[in-house]
A and B are shown apart, each in its own frame.
Chain A
Amino acid sequence: MLSATNFSQQLQFESNAVDDSMDEGGAAPHAKKMMWSIEFEKVSKSFGSHQVLVDLDLQVRPGEKVTLIGPSGSGKTTVLRLAMTLAKPTRGDIRIFGESILFDADKKGLSAAQESRIRRRCGMVFQQYNLFPHLTVLQNLILAPTTVLRQSKAQAVESAMVYLRMVGLQDKARSYPAQLSGGQQQRIAIARALVMKPEILLLDEITSALDPELAGEVLDVVRRVAHESRVSLLIVTHEMRFAREVSDRIAVFDRGSIIEQGVPEKIFTQPENERTRTFLQSVLDH
């Protein structure tokens, strides 16, 4: 039986890391040899005539925590949706642990089974929680493990309870999402993503719909995941203090491109780009 105290071990996900070394700016000098957990190569995305991403190059190391910041509409959420195959890029390629999520070796489109196998390595938590309202908390957590991973119900329940304890909501297992506060729902959503043991976790403005008090309890859970697991985190947030605290690297987006990236200390204290300075000033002033 797993206990609350050993959830840290649960979070020690297998990683395909081949090299953990990287320079401070986040751009590894030996990038060619690196097996990135996720890699965007010259990715562009348009919605009609509106170009959301322009030739984006972004790599995340296994276990690395990368936060995407920037003004609304700059393409941050689109990056996460593309990584989760919720949208397809107009141009370019995206690879998860070296495997394209778009094409097979012959440059043909992937079958549903191939795509499903690759995207299973990613998990995503949404701004609006997106819990299944007709299922109890426990049912929300065991649905994917039992149907996708084909775990037995007992095994899935045991694992789900570990994650519920981790987010401090083990007493809400039989509650429905509508009976929970926004913060509790978001913590359940994080547990639901983690129970699938993803190697990459995508967090899309997970506190935007919450008041500051509830946002705090959600961020505490993410801090814990960030510090105690080897899962790669790709975070979109407007919580600058949180971004500074948990990130290994921060990428600043503007008009569909990364205008600057580096370790949090450098981005927040010595930004090189004028637009980064303007953005941070406007955010930190509020």
Chain B
Amino acid sequence: MRAVLEYWSVLAHGLWVTVWVSFCIIVGSIPGAVILGALRLSENRAVRLTSTIIIESIRAPSALVLLYWVAYALPLVPGMPRLSPITAAIVVLALDGAAYGAEIVRAGIEAVHRGQFDACHALGLSKIQGFSRVILPQALSQIVPGFGGLARSMIKWTAIVSFIGVQDVMYVANYIRGQTFDTVAVFCVLAALYWLLTILCGVMFRGLEQLLPLNRALRSSRVELNLTSNLVSESVQ
């Protein structure tokens, strides 16, 4: 344990890199997930097929293979940029998150009752107006819990960025272990840090769920129902 205390500043820096990469890939994956998920449900067959191919092309290979490809193979292709290790890591993991998130978004949209789409149409809302004002706010109640689970996984995915030299908490832990040979203590602390990060992420997403419009509406209804049943039972007594 002394090893960990001795290297705490290095460990804190590694933890900060992990938090930063996690934040970037979770936030960065959201627009991609929403766009790809919505396109998966397009009425246009070509659009549907294209988005499916993109999603499957990203999901199929190992994230580590993609990471190596972007970090080491891409710069060898003429005209392609050489990305810094941290940029390559964020790009690859955000894309991976978007591909997995797209399926969560698709399932969330499909869970919205068909009648809601009909009502939007009957009121004259355009597809975009209906999607943004009616369908997505309701679908979020399904999407956010699923995305919370994905976000926790994405934090754990960040451990692979150490393979291309990003000095995240995993990289730093390995370094400390190499310096001190205190393998058990170092990896116990590492496991505890990942546990803490994923738990915090879960708490944040649960907080976010409370703010969603549909959840707020249903909560109000439940509160009123409880008040009514309390009043009824009081008057009976």
| B-binding residues in A (CB < 8 A) | 84-86, 112, 116, 119-120, 122-124, 126, 128, 130-136, 143-144, 147-148, 176-179, 192-193, 196
Contacts and interface: CB of A to CB of B under 8 A. Distances in A.
A131 B120 CA distance: 10
Contact of A178 (B116, B125, B221): B221
B217 interface: yes
A119 B119 CA distance: 13
Contact of A133 (B121, B124, B138): B138
Contact of B124 (A120, A126, A130): A120
A230 B217 CA distance: 36
A179 B133 CA distance: 21
Interface of B: 113, 115-116, 118-119, 121-127, 129, 133-134, 137-138, 212-214, 216-218, 220-221, 224
Nearest to A85: B121
Contacts of A119: 121, 124
Given A130-B118, A132-B116, A133-B214, A196 B123 contact: yes
A128 B124 contact: no
Contacts of B116: 130, 132
Given A126-B119, A135-B213, A178-B221, A116 B133 contact: no
A66 to B, nearest CB: 18
B129 A126 contact: no
A178 B218 contact: yes
A84 B120 CA distance: 11
Give the residue among B118, B138, B212 with the most A Cβ atoms within 10 A. B118
Contact of B125 (A126, A128, A147, A179): A147
A169 to B, nearest CB: 16
Given A132-B134, A147-B129, A179 B221 contact: yes
A84 B115 contact: no
B120 to A, nearest CB: 9
Contact of A126 (B115, B134, B214, B218): B115
Contacts of A147: 125, 129, 133
Contact of B122 (A124, A128, A177): A124
A144 B220 contact: no
B123 A134 contact: no
A134 B213 contact: yes
Contact of A112 (B123, B126, B218): B126
A246 B228 CA distance: 38
A188 to B, nearest CB: 12
13 contacts: A84-B118, A84-B122, A86-B121, A124-B118, A130-B116, A130-B118, A133-B217, A136-B217, A143-B133, A143-B134, A176-B220, A176-B221, A178-B221
